Amino acid sequence: MLKRPSILVLGAGYGGLSTVVNLQKEFGADAADITLINKNDYHYESTWLHEAAAGTMKPEDVRYDIKDVIDSVKVKFVQATVEAIDVEGKSVKTDNGVFTYDYLVIGLGFEGETFGIEGLDKYALSIANVKAARYIREHIEFQFATWSTEEVKNDDRLTIIVGGAGFTGIEFLGELGNRVPELCKEFDVPREKVRVLCVEAAPMVLPGFDPELVNYAVGQLESKGIEFSIGTPVVEATPEGVNIKKGDDEFEFIKAGTVVWAAGVRGNRLIEATPIESMRARVKVDKDLRAPGYSDVFIVGDCALMINEAVNRPYPPTAQIAMQQGVQAAKNIKALVDGTDTHTFVPDLKGTVCSLGHDDAIGDVFGGKKVTGKKASFMKKMIDNRALYMIGGAGLVLKKGKFNVL
Ligand code: FAD
Ligand code: NAD
């Protein structure tokens, strides 16, 4: 009898979980040994982390138990932190044992990128995972609580700086626009004492996105008291705030009690400790999602890099693509096991919707259709619900879905 193939999937984010639920469909109960390894016994919706970080959503609502969406007859789940990947020896070292494989899927996700800017690692907070998001929420609440009780008021602690006006920065600002008035009420802080400032290096907010939609977003956020400093990169962070560059030799130091760094992502550092070639821990994968030179290693999600040949630039790392890659990786592993050809992964991009709080959004969808306001917000919630459906079906949508659609 032929040995059953052993398939090891690392990470239960969008890419890893999508791979696993699709491997379950591809293989019968006794046809393969499928193991999923993840740091936590839950998955978190990275696309909702800005809500948990601002405090407009509870951290526990952003996550769900992995055992609720996998078939335990077909898949063994191991809660463990991956420490090293040996692609030559075909094994993975974790804090809960060593695992070998015939096929490996790496879906270990993203980390915040600080580009080596001094002080950011130490003094800025990053919306990187659900624990980090909860920490940001509590840090902001702590600043408000401290201000309301201290005798000599330090107004700087009420300044929140958001570094980066990409999609993460803008979505977080959208939540803060709604959350700050609530915090002021809760902690008896006058609204005019609170400053929320977004600092962006590029000459525009959401660089590259539709200018009309960007104008709408900036107008809506400014109407909630959010300020923008554009074309002024953050060059340093200290315990007191950030230094921004305003001209050739012109700098300004802005004091702040909270600095949230949302200025880009990289892949998981563990990739850089393997011989697989990568750029900022992202691997330029072959067309069928395999790592170049390693025919038994697939990479999905933010650790994978693919060039959009139409514009000769990498596709942005998104949940949308990560989930689609999971479907293709599962099919291609089945093809290898069956001795047939693997297929090229072709992303099916449905557009981008960026939320501006629970009741507002902007979107460029279905090949150039622009949407704003409640209609766009409704679409964003449907996209969020669809992601749940793709992993856990209708049951998961009913349990965790967003139904506050007006
Ligand atoms: P992740 O979602 O990062 O999951 C990685 C998993 O691996 C996690 O479960 C983690 O715990 C686990 N892990 C990490 N290290 C280890 C280890 N050493 N050992 C074991 N397990 C480990 N994209 C969209 O398409 N639409 C959106 O609206 C959108 N909104 C976003 C909003 C925010 C605030 C952010 C931050 C991102 C958003 N994105 C969005 C991007 C999207 O979240 C990412 O592209 C997506 O999460 C990538 O999925 P992934 O599976 O590669 O990794
Ligand atoms: P990003 O790379 O898209 O944006 C980072 C922003 O930070 C850029 O505007 C950049 O100019 C700016 N920046 C870089 N260095 C800076 C500096 N020193 N000072 C000030 N600003 C600086 O990163 P992101 O927003 O974290 O998004 C990561 C990925 O997640 C992207 O692929 C994005 O498309 C995706 N995402 C999608 C959505 C959505 O679809 N709704 C939401 C969030 C994130």
325-384 tens-digit pLDDT: 999 999 999 999 999 999 999 999 989 999 999 999 999 998 889 999 999 999 999 999
Ligand 2, atom 33, lies closest to the CA of 167
What mean pLDDT do residues 209-214 have?
Answer: 97
Which neighbouring-strand residues pair with 172? none
Q: Is the pLDDT of residue 318 over 70?
A: yes
> Cβ distance 194 to 155 under 8 Å?
no
What mean pLDDT do residues 20-42 have?
Answer: 96
320-283-340 Cα angle (round to 5): 80
Question: How far apart are the C-alpha atoms of 71 and 155, rounded to whole Å?
Answer: 53
| CA 194 – ligand 1 centroid, Å | 31
Q: Which ligand is nearest to the CA of 16?
A: 1
> Cβ distance 396 to 388 under 8 Å?
yes
Mean of the per-residue pLDDT values of the chain: 97
Supply 33's token pair: 């040994």
Q: Which ligand is nearest to the CA of 175?
A: 1
Question: How far apart are the C-alpha atoms of 96 and 127, rounded to whole Å?
Answer: 27
Q: What is the pLDDT of residue 355?
A: 98
Q: What is the pLDDT of residue 3?
A: 84
Q: Which ligand is nearest to the CA of 172?
A: 1
Q: Is the pLDDT of residue 2 over 80?
A: no
Please give the positions annotated as active site: 171
Q: What is the pLDDT of residue 298?
A: 98
| CA 335 – ligand 2 centroid, Å | 36
**Dihedral angle of Cα 356, 398, 58, 10, to the nearest 10 degrees:** -90
- pLDDT tens profile 60-73: 999 999 999 999 99
Pocket residues: Cβ below 6 A from ligand 2: 117, 163-169, 171, 199-202, 207, 233-234, 262-265, 316-318, 352-354
Q: What is the pLDDT of residue 201?
A: 98
Nearest to 200 by CA among 227, 221, 179: 227
Q: What is the pLDDT of residue 177?
A: 98
Ligand 1 site, residue 26, Cβ cutoff 6 A: no
Q: What is the pLDDT of residue 367?
A: 83
Q: Is the pLDDT of residue 27 over 60?
A: yes
What mean pLDDT do residues 304-310 have?
Answer: 95
Ligand 1 site, residue 96, Cβ cutoff 6 A: no
Supply 279's token pair: 């750029």
Question: How far apart are the C-alpha atoms of 298 and 184, rounded to whole Å?
Answer: 48
Ligand 1 atom with the smallest distance to the CA of 40 is 11
Where do the DSSP E strands lie in 146-233? 159-163, 195-200, 226-230
Q: Which ligand is nearest to the CA of 384?
A: 1
Determine the residue type at 325.
Q
Contacts of 386 (CB under 8 A, 6+ apart): none
Identify the sign of the CA torsion 105, 109, 115, 117: negative
What mean pLDDT do residues 190-215 have?
Answer: 97
**Please, what's the b/e burial string for 95-128 (b: 16 or more CB within 10 A of its CB; e: otherwise)?**
eeeebebbbbbbbbbbbbbbeebebbeebbbbbb
| CA 132 – ligand 1 centroid, Å | 13
Q: What is the pLDDT of residue 50?
A: 98
Q: What is the pLDDT of residue 406?
A: 59
Question: How far apart are the C-alpha atoms of 331 and 98, rounded to whole Å?
Answer: 26
| CA 350 – ligand 1 centroid, Å | 19
Question: How far apart are the C-alpha atoms of 15 and 108, rounded to whole Å?
Answer: 8
What mean pLDDT do residues 224-232 have?
Answer: 98
| CA 377 – ligand 2 centroid, Å | 20
β-pairing, 97-100 vs 91-94, is antiparallel
Ligand 1 atom with the smallest distance to the CA of 172 is 34
User: CB neighbours (10 Å) of residue 13?
Assistant: 25
| CA 164 – ligand 2 centroid, Å | 6
Question: How far apart are the C-alpha atoms of 47 and 57, rounded to whole Å?
Answer: 12
| CA 13 – ligand 1 centroid, Å | 5
Tell me the best of 113, 120, 167, 386 to mutate to test the pocket of ligand 2, counting ligand atoms within 8 Å of each CB and taking the most: 167
Q: What is the pLDDT of residue 366?
A: 86
Tell me the best of 35, 38, 46, 358 to mutate to test the pocket of ligand 1, counting ligand atoms within 8 Å of each CB and taking the most: 46
Ligand 1 site, residue 18, Cβ cutoff 6 A: no
Ligand 2 atom with the smallest distance to the CA of 206 is 9
**Dihedral angle of Cα 405, 318, 205, 58, to the nearest 10 degrees:** 50
- pLDDT tens profile 149-186: 999 999 999 999 999 999 999 999 999 999 999 999 99
Tell me the best of 44, 104, 110, 362 to mutate to test the pocket of ligand 1, counting ligand atoms within 8 Å of each CB and taking the most: 110
What mean pLDDT do residues 58-87 have?
Answer: 97
Q: What is the pLDDT of residue 72?
A: 95
Ligand 1 site, residue 319, Cβ cutoff 6 A: yes
Q: Is the pLDDT of residue 1 over 80?
A: no
Ligand 1 site, residue 6, Cβ cutoff 6 A: no
Determine the residue type at 239.
P
